[in-house]
Amino acid sequence: MRAALLLLVITGPAFAEPPPKKDRERAGKTVNKRPRPLPGQKPAKLVNLYNQWTHEWLAVEPGVAPSPATLNRFLRDHYTSEPTQMEPKLVDIVTAAAQQFGADMVLVVSAFRHEKYNLILRKKGHQVARDSAHTKGNAIDFHLPKVTTQKLHEWAKAQQLGGVGLYLDSGFVHMDTGKIRFWSGD
């Protein structure tokens, strides 16, 4: 009986022919599968990101990051239309802000800023840093409908995640993933 069992193990699937290359490639791709809610449970509330420059929308389920390619394209520089590798934590930051205030929409004012466009803004006298976190894909400027800029700013500072700028006249908050620091602008 042991000989028969041993024979089954040796001739089992471990020694079968490998699957075709096409199947191996398909199996190697990661699929962003979202867990479905159990029957009787409400599905997670989506947060809609709206890029005010490109007029594009991106629906995000909190805790489920969009693919890097989708994120990079959505937060691309509006002037050059060039994307960069964006910091994935930025989506977590803005969705957390939306959840905190019960908002279902985040209005994105700025994210990636190409160095050329950053220089143009500096020459025109806008308050942009020479070595801006926006040029590295590590910053986002945003606001939430029906939430005051001051309240959003207070929340952002309390997160202690990186740089936080208050732009009261323009009505948005800047958050980045750099060193913890705070400032105010126009």
Could you tell me the mean pLDDT of each successive run of 10 residues in the chain, 186 residues long? 40 51 58 64 86 96 92 96 96 96 97 94 86 95 97 97 95 96 90
Determine the residue type at 93: I
Taking a C-beta distance cutoff of 8 angstroms, is the pair 122, 132 a contact?
no
Annotation: CATH topology of 46-185: Muramoyl-pentapeptide Carboxypeptidase; domain 2 (3.30.1380)
Q: 61's torsion region: left (phi>0), alpha (psi -120 to 50) or beta?
A: beta
Cβ atoms 138, 93 nearer than 8 A:
no
CA distance 104 to 46: 7
- Say if CB 174 and CB 163 are below 8 A apart: yes
pLDDT value at residue 4 = 42
* Helices and strands, number each (H, E), in the chain: 6, 7
Among 178, 160, 166, which Cα is nearest to 141's?
Answer: 166
Element (H, E) at 18: none
Name residue, tokens 């105010």. 184
Predicted pLDDT of residue 63: 86
Task: Check: pTM over 0.95? Answer yes or no.
Answer: no
CB 182 within 8 A of CB 157: yes
Predicted local confidence at residue 21, as pLDDT? 65
